[in-house]
Structure 1
Amino acid sequence: MRRWIVLVVGLFCVQLWASAQATHDFKLGDEHFLLDGKPFQMISGEIHYPRVPKEAWRHRMKMAKAMGINTIGTYVFWNLHEPQQGVYDFSGNNDIGAFVKIAQEEGLWVVLRPSPYVCAEWEFGGYPYWLQNIKGLQVRSREPQYLAAYKSYISQVGKQLAPYLVTHGGNVLMVQFENEYGSYGGDKEYLAINQQLFVDAGFDCLLYTSDPAKDVVRGHLPGFLPTVNGLDRPEQVKDLVRKYHNGKGPFMVAEWYPAWFDWWGVVHHKVPAEDYAGKLDNLLAEGLSVNMYMFHGGTTRGYMNGANCYDTGFYEPQTSSYDYDAPLDEAGNATHKFMLFRSMIQKNLPAGQTLPAVPAAKPAITLPALTFTTSADIFSVLPAPVKAATPLTFEKLKQAYGYVLYRTQQPGGRKGMLSIKELRDYGLVFINGKRVGVLDRRLKQDSLEVDLPAGTVTIDILVENMGRINFGPNLLKNEKGITEGVRFNGQELRNWQMYSLPFDRIDQVKLKKGVKVKGAPVVKKAVFDLATPGDTYLDMRNWGKGSVWINDHHLGRYWSIGPQQTVYVPVEWLKQGKNELVVLELLTPEQPSLPSLDKPILDVLTKGNSGQ
């Protein structure tokens, strides 16, 4: 018995020793970060876990190491993890803990950015839609309802991630407690409350803020490290940080942009690698830490893209491809920019340190010809309606994303102007089931002339949420659908039926064989066999506007106006043998087949099929 006790105690001591050995110390020095007492230069690359299939996380980490990255940066997205109030999801592609753990296994540090607001070209800047249903709630403020909601959420995040902090033996070096707040407000008391919420949630590690240079004065909290976004001149960064950090460093460019993102109807953003390689070399040579935004963008799948809207004068929904012209392309392959940046990083490594070999590009394939065998138009799959005198928003219907069909019956035998005030964001108008036009918030189209035939007329307006605003003062103007009523010749139309069509479970849509396409939006399925799966790209150039699913994974949106003309299908979501592809097409439902390519098309703008 004594031997057994001695053995157990001995094993326990070994475990304690191993745990102590694994624990690291990460602190601020006057000029550099200090890891275990030694200067540490963070060469970080941003990867967002929901924009990459979980099955591919490890591959992307290996690619990061091959370029010379030693740290992974990522946001944490509130609307993914609390899609409905009090309902939390950290499973599957939302398993942020697994993402951090894989990074640790691959020898990478992590910088976490679970700020209440993330921007990130992400739906509502990461906020869950249901916040808008709480009367009087003000995001990014001391308003009590907002703070209570955020406290509940960040406490759940803390439970997931506190074990991975460097203070607990993990690989998370530091945590950002607000994101570009200076671009939105300047309430230091709010920042202090938010910082304390992080501490209370278990984030007992180094905390910091990040802001564009001009907004650091408003966005930093005295006593905490300010970092800078968008600068690439070392002396400017150092001067700015010293100004707000008691004359000291460390110095970090928290978002260094080697390129930019895309939105629908605007030319693809592409920046030559040569324009930025020297700047990266200079930052590293001067000892600054850098987080490259983005190292790998991936894809904004589902309905999670955000929208630009800095004022009320325009609205620009972002594309599903988040390729970003990043060093690692949308499929995770090395680009010319990757190789050039890698050489700059290698140049600045300590003598004798070399980088791992760059993994070979993943094979890409084309799929067999895809023909559709089953389908259903949306008028045949309507759920039970909600009735109200005036149209209800998505929020009032407790629907986050997707589509709502608004229907009313009105007396006909007249012509006139049908107008929708504050349509958000894209509407197809039908008279007795026949499409008569579209309305597009981007183009400030909110009305059209219609001819109502004699008798009682059914007016349908199918409204798509194209993405909530993710940046700027209009964060609180993010309700979706028909938000302020419909008028015909100036007279308000009343008595509406609302049909929620979130299309979040495409497998539950009942499809049939032999359905004749009559011009209405349609859901279509193709079944195909694969001997050897590989990455591929659906060629949507002959299609109009809609979304695509592969084996029940929502791949994102497409729109013929461009610049994105293909939809990326990751090899991880294809199977050897039988596969199912589903398309929701709004504008050209008669399309009989869908081709694929072995490379993307992200840079073609067309007049497209806007539905006019």
Structure 2
Amino acid sequence: MWPGIIEKAKEGGLDVIETYVFWNYHEPVKGQYYFEGRFDLVKFVKTVQDAGLFVHLRIGPYACAEWNYGGFPLWLHFIPGIQFRTTNGPFQAEMELFLAKIVDLMKEENLFATQGGPIILAQVENEYGNVEWAYGVGGELYVKWAAQTALNFNISVPWVMCSQEDAPDPIINTCNGFYCDTFVPNSPSKPKMWTEDYTGWFLSFGYPVPYRPVEDLAFAVARFFQKGGTFHNYYMYFGGTNFGRTAGGPLVATSYDYDAPIDEYGFIRQPKWGHLRDLHMAIKQCEEYLVNGDQTHQSLGINLEADIYHRTANNCAAFLANYGSSLDANVTFNGKVYFLPAWSVSILPDCKTVSFNTAKVAGKKSVGDSTISPSASVSELSLSNSPWSWYLEKVGIWSNDSLTANNLLEQINTTKDTSDFLWYTTSIEADEKKDAFLLIESLGHAALVFLNKKVLAFGYGYHDDASFNISEKISLEQGNNTLDIISMIIGVQNYGPWFDIMGAGLYTVILADLKNVKKDYSSNEWTYQVGTEGESLGLDRTDLANSSLWTQGSSIPINQSLIWYKSTFVAPDGKGPLSLNLASMGKGQAWVNGQSIGRYWSTYLSPKTGCTDKCDYRGSYDAQKCQKKCGQPAQILYHVPRTWVHSGENLLVLHEELGGDPSKISVMTRTEQVVCSHVSEYDSIPVDLWKPNSDSSSQTPEVQLTCDQGWKIASVHFASFGNPKGDCGMFAQGSCHADVSSAVEQACIGKQKCSVPVSAAKFGNPCPGVVKSLAVEALCSA
């Protein structure tokens, strides 16, 4: 998928692609390196270079990124005497070795800019300034050591440290956040750089889906360059998917869509992509002034201002800003009156003509969510009639390689993250049949409890606090009772001070009788089993698809905990990516042809409140401001790249932990794409039509329709010139209407992109004296 995604980024106006370098996947075993498949770093950098773009290589090696363990390998944790991210000899030695490995790999391939390659920037460490306080003097010394270590590699391009106010010269400290216009580097010799502008926010199980309005995002970008910014990066521009167990913890979801301009499936998200593309073009119209001009500031009123970049007295570019969040305004600048909506920036590349305003989205929209959602444009294959097989796991200890201890072991230190699961098993003796209360306390992240091999309870935490308690009334049989608890982690901690020693698993087990007489079983003899039986057998592997381990039958056991399911499907026709709908399942992990598509947890619903149908972009944004899908699962659709499937039958395997109904699973693909545009005859002139020193009144606004690469406009569903009503997918004629379908079809059918002028001269004047607009809805097909 890389070339197509990178090309869409380039078309969107990007010059540079940033990437992290994930230590835990490039060195999964100490001294054993891996740079293959989607972790082929050299190939990725060269693919960006082939597209004519630059690279910012964020080596770190700490990444955060909501990635498992922040990108650190778990073996690092078990080096004697090690402490992460501080002045600690064992850690510094390993970090320096990995940095050297990556730098040498790039040098060997001539990939730094001074060697003719695309890498213009590199990063050491990541957001350490947010946690440095927790490490005391050791943290301050570590920053200096990390900076000097990076400089010693002599890569001949600048190094940066983001969110690091004490970054030593010449390391460039940069800003991360929703807004960075007020950020000032720690030295006047350093450029003002923004390494992470959040296009949305990451997704966690049990939470609503966050999104960020494009008007606010564009406002933040324009303000940054208005105030002297030189380098800006979106986080994320393409969101992507955390396949397998790469999603970090606790409880970060598999989807990393991030409400990005290019969605998780690689499709362009409108209007975000198109509006930002026009913004980038407007800013680049000002480039010679921003780079070479002298900046002056002018107040235009309350919350109103202009920043002007002069090359000569009469040769300039300007940014006019209304940074108030409620009141629109008319301002006078250079003897002309300009309308500035609240929370917006207008860009004037010649100090006269507005080529772009951040609040005026020129109607570029696409229908539905970025995910592949059920609609007329989607092909859906139900697996209800597919042949299913299953395997029921043993509850509790299932092999001879178990271990015992007279205390409750911390989970990550015990499993070393080789599995999400750790079984805790002990015995409870009762002198008679009786009722009691069982109290279990856990550091997280979830646990399923069995008493005498029968499901008793399920408990779980959430992203911001993964710890939880289970309190359950139980009935004990006379004699020996078996207590089996399978503790589950959902991603190893990836952020925070000393994140590497944050634990998981049980820490208290107490039994109380009905008279509240308590017995602490935490120091009982416990037997431990790492992982599940199905994992040990390798049931996710394709070479076991026909194994006799699997049970076949016409009646599939449903709502069964700790069960593996297997079936096959023929991929729907087309070239586009696939989506697996797992709404009917509980919690678990899924594989297609042996490739893990990630963890699912469809039964964990978000709170019913906190979402809004429409989010006001005006005013400061945070991750909780704009949310959707309250009261629903965070994720039910799971990305399956088309390259992971083949013609004929494909193998689907699921490990269901809680209980679900696999017969209701479906495989989906997008076969058509709806694109829309709604533009007024007096809308802002699109920036790609803007010409310096021209009269804007002589330029005609245009409806612009763009299909995804490889797709073409096949039909026009709606085209009305007048005062059409509604939004994309629900356009309707207004009281003033001219049917312009034939003109739009002539301009657009069979093309990947097209533009249609919005003018009464072209379409006639169905209602004189009324400001008219053109609304178009078209269908793209592959």
Per the shorter chain, which TM-score range? 0.7 to 0.9
> Which of 485, 491, 496 pairs up with 2:520?
491
Give the structure 2 partner of residue 552 of structure 1: 594
How far off its partner does 1:142 sit? 0.8
1:424 matched to 2:440: no
Q: Which amino acid aligns with 2:561?
A: A
Aligned counterpart, 1:302? 244
Candidates 345, 348, 368, aligned match of 2:283: 348
Question: SS of the residue aligned with 1:153?
Answer: helix
How far is the alpha carbon of 1:520 from its aligned partner?
Answer: 3.0
Q: Which residue of 1 aligns with 2:626?
A: none
Looking at structure 2, the residues matched to 233 and 205 of structure 1 have their Cα atoms a distance apart, in angstroms, of 24
Aligned residue number for residue 770 of structure 2: none
Q: Give a deviation string over 1:367-426, Cα, whole Å, max 9, x none.
A: 352535222122189454321124443323434342222223332444434344434311
| Deviation for aligned residue 1:457 | 2.5
DSSP 3-state at the match of 2:144: helix
Q: Following the alignment from structure 1 to structure 2, what is the Cα–Cα distance between the partners of residues 110 and 592?
A: 45
Question: Would you say the 8 A contact 2:457–2:470 is kept in 1?
Answer: no
Secondary structure of residue in 1 paired with 2:60 = coil
Give the distance between the partners of 2:229 and 2:493, measured in 1 at CA.
36
- Alignment correspondent of 2:481: 457
Residue in 2 aligned with 1:20?
none
Picking from 500, 503, 517, the partner of 1:476 is 500
Q: 1:62 aligns with which of 7, 26, 42?
A: 7
1:577 aligns with: 648
State the AA in 1 paired with 2:161: T
Is residue 2:75 matched to residue 1:125?
no
Query: Of 560, 564, 568, which aligns to 1:527?
Result: 568
Match of 1:42 in 2: none
Matched residue type, 1:342: R
1:507-522 equivalences in 2 (<5 Å): 507=541, 511-514=549-552, 517=557, 519-522=560-563
Any idea what SS the aligned residue of 1:473 has? coil
Instruction: Give the aligned partner of residue 30 of structure 1.
Output: none
- Conservation of the 8 A alpha-carbon contact between 1:434 and 1:520: no
Greater RCO (Cα-Cα under 8 Å, separation 6 or more) = 1
* Cα distance in 2 for residues equivalent to 1:157 and 1:280: 31
Summarize the alignment of residues 38-49 of structure 1 with structure 2, pairs less than 5 Å apart.
none
- Provide the residue aligned with 1:99 in structure 2: 44
CA distance in 2, matches of 1:201, 1:299: 33
Paired residue type of 1:102 = T
Aligned to 2:274: 339
In structure 1, the partner of 2:426 is: 408
Corresponding position of 2:402: 386
- Deviates most, 169-178 or 535-544: 535-544
Q: Does 1:367 align with 2:381?
A: yes
**Shift in CA distance, 107/143, structure 1 to aligned 2, threshold 3 Å:** same
Q: Percent identity?
A: 27
CA 1:189–1:459: 2 relative to 1, 3 Å: same
Unaligned runs of 5+ residues in structure 1 are: 1-55, 308-315, 601-612
Higher helix fraction: Structure 1 or Structure 2?
1
Query: Does 1:185 find its partner at 2:201?
Result: no
Listed one character per residue, the Cα deviations across residues 175-208 of structure 1 (whole Å, up to 9, x for unaligned) are: 1112111101163321232234335556443111
What secondary structure does 1:479 align onto?
coil
Instruction: Report the more deviating stretch, 574-583 or 585-594.
Output: 585-594
Q: Output the CA distance in 1 between the equivalents of 2:54 and 2:403.
A: 53
Given that residues 192 and 230 in structure 2 are in contact (C-alpha distance below 8 angstroms), is that contact kept between their aligned partners in structure 1?
yes
Matched letter for residue 460 of structure 2: D
Of 84, 94, 114 in structure 2, the residue corresponding to residue 167 of structure 1 is 114
Provide the residue aligned with 2:752 in structure 1: none
SS in 1 for 2:531: strand
Q: Contact 1:81–1:90 at 8 Å: present in 2 too?
A: yes
Secondary structure in 2 aligned to 1:114? Answer: strand
Provide the secondary structure at the position in 2 that maps to 1:471. Answer: coil
Question: In the alignment, residue 398 of structure 1 is paired with which amino acid?
Answer: K
1:229 is aligned to 2:182: no
Q: Distance in 1 between matches of 2:567 and 2:154?
A: 48
AA aligned to 2:444 is R
- Which shifted more, 262-271 or 291-300? 262-271
Q: Which residue of 1 aligns with 2:165?
A: 217
Give 1:551 shift: 1.2
| 1:595-610 alignment runs, 5 A limit | 595-598=666-669
Change (3 A) 1:352 1:128: closer
CA distance in structure 2 between the aligned counterparts of 1:565 and 1:411, rounded to whole angstroms: 43
Q: Secondary structure at the match of 2:165?
A: helix
Residue in 2 that maps onto 1:439: 459
User: 1:151·1:197 contact (CA, 8 Å) conserved in 2?
Assistant: yes
SS of the aligned residue for 2:570 comes to: strand
| Residue 458 (structure 1) shift | 2.4
Bigger-Rg structure (1/2)? 2
Q: Please tell me whether residue 324 in structure 1 is matched to residue 258 in structure 2.
A: yes
Q: Deviations over 1:11-30 (max 9, x none)?
A: xxxxxxxxxxxxxxxxxxxx
Per the TM alignment, residue 517 of structure 1 is displaced from its structure 2 partner at its CA by: 3.6
Flag structure 2 segments of 5+ consecutive residues without an equivalent: 134-138, 289-363, 513-518, 606-632, 672-782
In structure 1, the residue corresponding to 2:457 is in which secondary structure?
A: strand
CA contact (8 A) 1:227 1:254 kept: yes
* Maintained 8 Å contact 1:383/1:499: no
Distance 1:175 1:330, change over 3 A: same
Once the 2 structures are TM-superposed, how far is the Cα of residue 576 of structure 1 from its aligned partner? Answer: 1.7
- TM-fit CA distance, 1:299: 0.8
Going from structure 1 to structure 2, the CA distance change for 1:406 and 1:160 (only over 3 Å counts) comes to farther
Tell me the SS of whatever aligns to 1:476: helix
CA contact (8 A) 1:372 1:592 kept: no
Q: Secondary structure at the match of 1:396?
A: helix
How large is the Cα RMSD of the aligned pairs?
A: 3.0
Cα deviation digits, residues 203-247 of structure 1 (max 9, x gap)? 443111111xxxx434x223321111126454x23xx11xx12x2
Aligned counterparts of 1:532 and 1:121: Cα–Cα separation in 2: 34
Structure 2 residue 191 is the aligned partner of structure 1 residue 250: yes
Contact 1:231 1:253 in 2 (8 A): no
Structure 1 distance, partners of 2:284, 2:588, is 47
Q: Is the 8 A contact 1:427 1:439 kept in 2?
A: yes
Per the alignment, residue 603 of structure 1 pairs with: none
Q: State the one-letter code of the partner of 2:445.
A: D
Give the match for residue 48 of structure 1: none
Q: Are 1:500 and 2:531 counterparts?
A: yes
Residues 367 and 536 of structure 1 are in contact (CA less than 8 Å); yes or no, is this contact kept in structure 2? no
Alpha-carbon distance in structure 1 between the residues aligned to 2:152 and 2:487: 42
Amino acid at match of 2:596: H
Determine if contact 2:439/2:511 at 8 Å carries over to the other structure: yes
Normalization by structure 2: what TM-score? 0.62
Q: Is 1:269 paired with 2:298?
A: no
Structure 2 counterpart SS, 1:248: coil
CA distance in 1, matches of 2:670, 2:259: 14
Letter in 2 for 1:467: G
Counterpart-to-counterpart distance in 1, 2:511 and 2:401: 23
Partner residue in 1 for 2:731: none
How many Å apart are 1:364 and its aligned residue? 5.8
Q: What is the identity, as a one-letter code, of the residue corresponding to 2:511?
A: F
| CA distance in structure 1 between the aligned counterparts of 2:398 and 2:116, rounded to whole angstroms | 52
Q: CA–CA distance in 1 between the matches of 2:571 and 2:198?
A: 39
Displacement after TM superposition at 1:527 (Å): 0.8
Cα distance change, pair 92–503 in 1 and its aligned pair in 2 (3 A): farther
* Structure 1 CA distance for aligned equivalents of residues 204 and 644 of structure 2: 26
Q: Could you give the per-residue CA deviations for residues 125-177 of structure 1, whole angstroms, max 9, x where no partner exists?
A: 11222333234421110111211222232232233323321132211111111
Task: State the alpha-carbon separation in 1 of the partners of residues 53 and 601 from structure 2.
Answer: 37
Change in Cα spacing, 1:87 to 1:377, as seen in structure 2 (3 Å) is farther
| Deviating more after overlay: 318-327 vs 362-371 | 362-371
Structure 1 pair 503–204 and aligned structure 2 pair: CA distance change class (3 A): farther
Q: Is the 8 A contact 2:415 2:422 kept in 1?
A: no
- Alignment partners' CA distance in 2, 1:599 and 1:319: 22
1:287-345 Cα deviation digits (max 9, x unpaired) = 521011110111111122223xxxxxxxx521111110111111011112011101111
* Aligned pairs for 1:12-27 within 5 A: none
How many residues of Structure 1 are paired with residues of Structure 2 in the alignment?
A: 520
Aligned to 2:99: 154
